[in-house]
C-alpha cells in the first residue's frame, strides 16, 4: 500500500495578514532590483573614472619583456590606438625566440591596461616596426 504524502503549506501571516512567504518573495524582488541598480551605478562610476584615464593612453607606445616561460625573452611592442568601452584597443607585434628564425606575430587586440609594460617613444616603436615591415617585405619577395 502506498503512503500518500500531504504537502503542508506555511499558513503563517504577519500582523497585517500578509503571508510570510509572499513577504519574503517581495523582499527578494526588492533586493534583486536594488542589486541591479547598484551594479548599474558601479558600472557608470567605473566608466566615468576609467574612460578619461584610458583616453590619455591613446597614441602612446609600450614594450613588454615577453616569453613562453622557457627563459628566453623578447620584446612585445604595443601601441594604444583607441578605446572600446572600458578596454584599450591596441596594435601589437613581436618576434619571438620560439624557433631559430623567431615567430612573427602581428595583431590588433584589446586589453585592460599596460601594467608591467615600459613606455617607449613613438620613434623607438616605429624603428622596431620598420624592422618587422622590412622582414615581411623580404619574406614576400
User: DSSP per residue over 5-34, as a string?
Assistant: PPPP----B-TTS-BHHHHHHHHHHHHHHH
The average pLDDT across 48-77 equals 89
Please report whether residue 89 resides in a domain.
yes
Residue 39 in any domain: the answer is: yes
Based on the fold, state whether residues 77 and 116 are members of the same structural domain: yes
Strand partners, 89: 82, 110
Whole-number pLDDT of residue 35 = 84
pTM over 0.75: no
Residues 91 and 25 in one domain: no
Per-residue pLDDT band at 57 (split at 50, 70, 90): very high
Can you give the pLDDT at residue 18?
A: 60
Secondary structure of residue 4 in the 3-state scheme: coil
Residues 85, 69 share a domain: yes
How far apart CA 25 and CA 9 sit, in angstroms, is 15
Cell of 62: 609600450
Answer whether residue 132 is part of any domain.
yes
Q: Is residue 90 part of a domain?
A: yes
* Total residue length of the chain: 141
Residues 80, 28, single domain; the answer is no
Q: What is the pLDDT of residues 75-112, one digit of tens each?
A: 999 999 999 988 999 999 998 876 666 788 999 999 98
pLDDT at 56: 94
Quick one: 20 and 76 in the same domain? no
Provide the residue range defining the domain that includes 42: 12-56
Residues 38 and 75 in one domain: no
In a domain, 85, yes or no: yes
Q: From CA 128, how far away is CA 122, in angstroms rounded?
A: 10
**Based on the domain organization, do 89 and 36 belong to the same domain?**
no
Rounded Cα–Cα distance for residues 33 and 133 (Å):
54
- Label residue 59 by pLDDT band (50, 70, 90): very high
Question: Residue 45: which H helix or E strand, with range?
Answer: helix 20-55
pLDDT-derived band at 47, boundaries 50, 70, 90:
confident
Q: Is the confidence at residue 7, as pLDDT, over 60?
A: no
Is 5 inside a domain boundary?
Answer: no
Task: Please give the tally of structural domains in the chain.
Answer: 2
Amino acid at each position: 500500500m502506498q503512503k500518500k504524502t500531504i504537502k503542508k503549506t506555511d499558513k503563517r501571516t504577519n500582523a497585517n495578514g500578509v503571508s510570510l512567504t509572499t513577504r519574503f518573495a517581495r523582499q527578494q524582488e526588492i533586493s534583486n532590483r536594488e542589486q541591479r541598480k547598484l551594479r548599474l551605478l558601479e558600472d557608470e562610476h567605473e566608466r566615468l573614472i576609467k574612460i578619461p584615464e584610458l583616453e590619455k593612453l591613446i597614441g602612446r607606445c609600450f614594450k613588454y619583456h615577453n616569453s613562453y616561460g622557457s627563459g628566453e625573452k623578447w620584446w612585445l611592442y604595443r601601441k594604444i590606438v583607441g578605446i572600446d568601452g572600458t578596454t584599450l584597443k591596441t596594435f601589437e607585434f613581436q618576434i619571438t625566440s620560439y624557433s631559430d628564425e623567431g615567430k612573427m606575430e602581428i595583431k590588433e587586440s584589446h586589453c585592460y591596461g599596460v601594467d608591467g609594460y615600459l613606455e617607449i617613444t613613438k620613434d623607438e616603436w616605429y624603428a622596431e616596426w620598420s624592422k618587422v615591415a622590412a622582414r615581411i617585405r623580404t619574406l614576400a619577395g
